[in-house]
Chains A and B, each alone.
Chain A
Amino acid sequence: MRTLILATASVLLLSACSGAGEQPAGGGSASGDPAPGVTDDTVVIGTHQPLTGPAAPGYSRISVAAKAMYSYINDKGGINGRKIDYRVEDDGYNPTRTVEVVKKLVLQDQVFAIVGGLGTPTHSKVVDYLNTEGVPDVLVSSGALMWDDPKSKQTFGFQVDYTREGKIQGKYIADQLAGRKVGLLFQNDDVGRDAQKGLDQFLADRIVSRQAYDPANTDVLPQLNALKSAGAEVVVCSCVPAFTALSILTAARLGYKTQFVVSSIGADPATLTGLLQDFAKRGGTEVSAPALLNGMIGTGYLPDAGRADDPWIQLFREVHAKYIPNEPLTNTIIFGMAQAYTFAHALKLAGRDLTRAKLVQAMESGQISGPGMTPFGFSAQSHSGYTGAYVFQVNPDSTTREIQAPMTTDREKGAITPAPTARKTPAEVALVGP
């Protein structure tokens, strides 16, 4: 009787005598022809998105926009004769569910690649898995530094990383808002850590308070109170949209007037307008979002949705009007479309004889140029996405104006230099037929 239990236990013991944290001898292989998810006329790709949960307000629209862009491409004949089949899984911004749904995409749906997986706490849990399995993991929707890691050969960033962005914000504040006391508010993970690495290069001696928030806790009153009592005249918010909105509302409630400088991840005025009204309504009040947002400073790396003269925005507006006319045209929509377009571009460069290795080669080719205002950092040595950002300010009518031209820099101590002004137009990239 008891021996049976003992026997079972000893089988387990004998069968696994190596340590749980030690590296196994053999790794997975990245090769494997023919590539999973690729047939003669389709290529299946997947993504994990927060369609529900704390990051859903705002971000749940990204995959809607990406889907519209893929529909547009498919209706024009697809890429290299293949239609793109885009599978979206909801992870609720919960890392446990991210691991589950990514395993589902890889094992059950047999996707060719994971594209634009969203979030640092979430996506960081699947990078090892995807690299061991040899699944391309491109254009991660997060600005953490860890996507550009020589150990993760399959992983590529997309957004400007938080350190580069922090440097550009820090220099702008040091130059243009000289002498003011600065407070920091950041998400208590890589967002905050990486952003401070950049901000501290210019502002270390002027920062009077550093406040972290946890995305699971929607009360930011203690943080805003601390910033107020420290006398911060400028608050740099490295926050997702929901927490930018909460911080602005909480500051208003406290009667705390300060200059908000918000990172690109949470600075889209149209998304913020919706959130401010929504949150205020739930709290039983009405607010004027334009008044609250007026004067807010933000950074961005994609053209603003309001710029009708930009050829990329013209294309995105066309796609928007045709496929998702009922969605408000926000910068979040532009993000989803730009990301989908960039992936399609890489897919085209990878050629008709598609393999996973060829997609990685195409990503590293340095030939990918996209809608962004600054160039990509992609090469064999670097898997960094956009390499810089511009600074904008919100007008009284919630449109934006550029107050500093696009700058690029590196993630270390390098100088900040103006970005090249020449960008390819959609017609020059010529992704699909007319």
Chain B
Amino acid sequence: MSLLLRHTLLALAALAAVVLLTMVVDPFTNVRIATVGYYLVAVAGLTLLTGGNGQISLGHGAFMFIGAYTVGLLVIYVPSFPFWLDLLLAGVTAGLAGMLTGAAAARLHGPYLAGATLGLAVGLPAITQRFPDFLGGSNGLAFTVNSLPAGLKVPQTQWQAWVVWTTTLLVLVLLANVVRGRFGRMLRAVRDDEVAAALSGIHIGRTKIMAFLLSSACGGLAGGLQAFLLGTAAPGSFSVALSLSLLAAMVLGGVGSLWGALWGALALVYVPAWANDVTHSLDLSTNITQNLPLAVFGTVLVVVVLVFPRGIHGAFARLWQSVRKGKP
């Protein structure tokens, strides 16, 4: 069976599972399921860049920002575009921005690259302050995305979860093929030894820029999906903390693995939600309530990395291997 066919069948099975799941849970859980979906896209993009190509980005929140504002502005100013075109353009816009970043980033290594991308995460949302009339200032944009086909009689949140997961799975199929294919090998060659890769005829700069383009397009698409789901794009939602959370989720799940991206996205949505519920029910002082969910997430991250250096997916993979070895 060819790789693409296998991945597509897997994705279709996953989509069917998600659709079934959305039918049995309550409408709000559908919102959570969709949230996991768009975070998965962002973390998967990041894991391609960092795990696959060895480049670090502390600025993926900025690409989500670009994607969310692209969808917001298109919905408001070009209402006749269908939502899937808006989403596509969100990915394209962020991809272009990522390509520019990548062009600069290809010359940078380690902490310098981290610093440059961090600057993007800190600086870019401030552009809303520069153009308060067009981009809404601190208030951001509010809009209603009309996407439910007229004939379809399902709850809005269920439909949104379907759209988000269809997009997510399409992206995952694409990424899975890229990682396994020729370009994936090029990415890894550049990651492992740039000189050796160059000697075997790989254009280092071009490969790095392509990696950034793909990764940031995923980030933009994730932001676009978020805007599609929540009908809002505001600078307050794209803080540095978001970029760092994406990175943390990637490390938690397991760097370089798309399965890891799934565990990371799940943790990103559910760990803070649970920690929030617990801390608020404990009636602690503001200072503690303020920081405890983050502290819990941080502790989980530290523990996982110490115990399973290759993240949650690494732990699963090891478990699976020992089960298989145990068999006669």
Contact = CB atoms under 8 A, between A and B. Distances in A.
Chains A and B come from one and the same complex? yes
Contact of B286 (A17, A20, A60, A95): A60
A127 B71 CA distance: 19
A288 interface: no
Contact of B143 (A8, A15, A21, A94): A21
A338 to B, nearest CB: 22
A32 to B, nearest CB: 15
Given A8-B166, A212-B129, A128 B276 contact: no
A60 B78 CA distance: 39
Interface in A65-102: 88, 90, 93-97, 99-100
Interface stretch (A22-30, A37-45, A291-299, A346-354): A22-30
A23 B27 CA distance: 23
A99 B166 contact: no
A154 to B, nearest CB: 15
B145 interface: yes
A12 interface: yes
B290 A216 contact: no
Interface in A351-369: none
Among B138, B157, B280, residue most surrounded by chain A Cβ atoms (within 10 Å): B138
A99 B231 contact: yes
Interface string B134-167: 0011111011111111101000010000010010
A97 B170 CA distance: 26
A286 interface: no
Contacts of A188: 129, 132, 137-138
B4 A2 contact: yes
A124 interface: yes
A16 B137 contact: no
Residues of A in contact with B, size category: 35 or more
A107 B27 contact: yes
Contact of B79 (A13, A20, A88, A128): A20
A88 B281 CA distance: 11
A100 B35 contact: yes
A22 B152 contact: no
B235 A20 contact: no
Contacts of A393: none
A424 interface: no
Given A18-B146, A22-B80, A107 B289 contact: no
B148 A19 contact: no
B50 interface: no
**SS class, residues of chain B in contact with chain A:** helix
B290 A56 contact: yes
Given A13-B84, A215-B236, A125 B138 contact: no
Given A8-B170, A125-B230, A128-B144, A189 B157 contact: no
Contacts of A97: 237
Given A190-B139, A214-B129, A214-B235, A20 B82 contact: yes
B215 interface: no
B201 to A, nearest CB: 28
Given A22-B79, A90-B280, A12 B143 contact: no
With most chain B CB atoms within 10 A of its CB, the pick from A13, A97, A103, A132 is: A103
A95 B170 contact: no
Given A16-B84, A100-B35, A190-B139, A95 B236 contact: yes
B231 A189 contact: no
A20 B83 contact: yes
A302 interface: no
B62 to A, nearest CB: 14
A121 B234 contact: yes
B265 to A, nearest CB: 15
Nearest to A108: B28
A21 B236 contact: no
B61 to A, nearest CB: 12
A4 interface: yes
A129 to B, nearest CB: 7
B173 interface: yes
A21 B75 contact: yes
B234 A95 contact: yes
B139 A124 contact: yes
B101 interface: no
Contacts of A51: 280, 286, 289-290
Interface string B235-276: 111010000000000000000000000000000000000001
Contact of B230 (A13, A88, A100, A215): A100
Nearest to B88: A9
Contacts of B230: 96, 99-100, 125
A24 B29 CA distance: 25
Contacts of A415: none
B8 A5 contact: yes
B192 to A, nearest CB: 30
B321 interface: no
Nearest to B132: A188
A216 B236 contact: yes
Contacts of B147: 16, 20
B102 interface: no
A19 B146 contact: yes
Contacts of B280: 51, 88, 90
Contacts of A124: 139, 142
B28 A104 contact: yes
A16 B83 contact: yes
A187 interface: yes
A129 B231 contact: yes
Nearest to A11: B166
B21 interface: no
A52 interface: yes
A121 B75 contact: no
Given A16-B147, A56-B290, A1 B4 contact: yes
Given A8-B170, A52-B289, A107-B28, A19 B80 contact: yes
Contacts of B2: 1
A267 to B, nearest CB: 20
16 contacts: A8-B166, A16-B84, A18-B149, A19-B146, A20-B83, A51-B280, A94-B236, A95-B236, A96-B232, A99-B232, A100-B35, A121-B139, A125-B234, A127-B142, A189-B139, A212-B129
Given A8-B170, A103-B27, A127-B142, 19 more contacts: A1-B8, A4-B5, A9-B170, A15-B152, A18-B146, A18-B149, A19-B78, A19-B82, A20-B75, A20-B147, A25-B150, A51-B286, A93-B236, A96-B226, A124-B142, A125-B142, A214-B129, A215-B138, A216-B138
Interface of A: 1-2, 4-5, 8-9, 12-13, 15-25, 51-54, 56-57, 60, 88, 90, 93-97, 99-100, 103-104, 107-108, 120-121, 124-125, 127-129, 132, 187-190, 212, 214-217
